[in-house]
Chains A and B, each alone.
Chain A
Amino acid sequence: QKEVEQNSGPLSVPEGAIASLNCTYSDRGSQSFFWYRQYSGKSPELIMSIYSNGDKEDGRFTAQLNKASQYVSLLIRDSQPSDSATYLCAVTQTSYDKVIFGPGTSLSVIP
């Protein structure tokens, strides 16, 4: 079983819609959860971090964490073409110094 799994995509949504990205992880001892955005040919950029169960909102982005279900999600409201990128879910394991990335979900926002 892979440590971090994501919907493989690609995910296409129309401009202005809500994009929903999902991630599951296998290590129950995982402590911290992150979403990174990576544009083609660029390096990953941190967009959200979440550490406790529930929702965390930042502008158009909402991260949701459910540790009991080992599930993390990212919602992007009012999606824009500039949101088109690969979204990487990342998890730190118990020792904190190991950050594991999921395979990524490619998002395409259609004007």
Chain B
Amino acid sequence: DTEVTQTPKHLVMGMTNKKSLKCEQHMGHRAMYWYKQKAKKPPELMFVYSYEKLSINESVPSRFSPECPNSSLLNLHLHALQPEDSALYLCASSQGLAVRAGELFFGEGSRLTVL
């Protein structure tokens, strides 16, 4: 079974749409992350939800908004996106404990295309 589940796997949306990406982790981890990855580039950190505290990469535009209903779920709400937002969106979780915080377990990703 996949420990970190992302839905949908593929999403095509127009610039005026509102959609959401969902992520659920089944590992009992206390930290969850959203990363954005463009082709042939490394993942870029967007948001971290760790021990009930949300940290935001200040370079992320407000058309992306995270929501954490509980410690196992981290959603990413999308509104008024631009074509340059088309990318692979990766959700990850970790124990969030000190030196091991960087041991990330990734979901399979959600491939987003903005038309």
Contacts and interface: CB of A to CB of B under 8 A. Distances in A.
A99 B102 contact: yes
Contacts of A43: 88, 90, 106-109
B55 A44 contact: no
B9 to A, nearest CB: 11
Interface residues of A, number: 25
Interface stretch (A11-19, A77-85, A90-98): A90-98
Contacts of A100: 45
A100 B101 CA distance: 12
A12 B31 CA distance: 36
Given A43-B107, A97-B50, A99-B33, A32 B43 contact: no
Interface of B: 31, 33, 41-45, 48, 50, 55, 88, 90, 96, 98-109
Contact of B101 (A44, A92, A101, A104): A92
B42 A31 contact: no
Contact of B42 (A45, A49, A51, A104): A104
Interface of A: 31-34, 36, 42-46, 49, 51, 88, 90-92, 96-104
A88 B41 CA distance: 10
Chain A binding surface SS class: strand
A96 B99 contact: yes
Given A43-B107, A44-B106, A45-B106, A99 B101 contact: yes
A101 B41 CA distance: 10
A89 B21 CA distance: 27
A10 B98 CA distance: 33
Nearest to B102: A92
Contacts of B102: 32-34, 49, 90-92, 96, 99
A97 B30 CA distance: 11
A49 B108 contact: no
B45 A32 contact: no
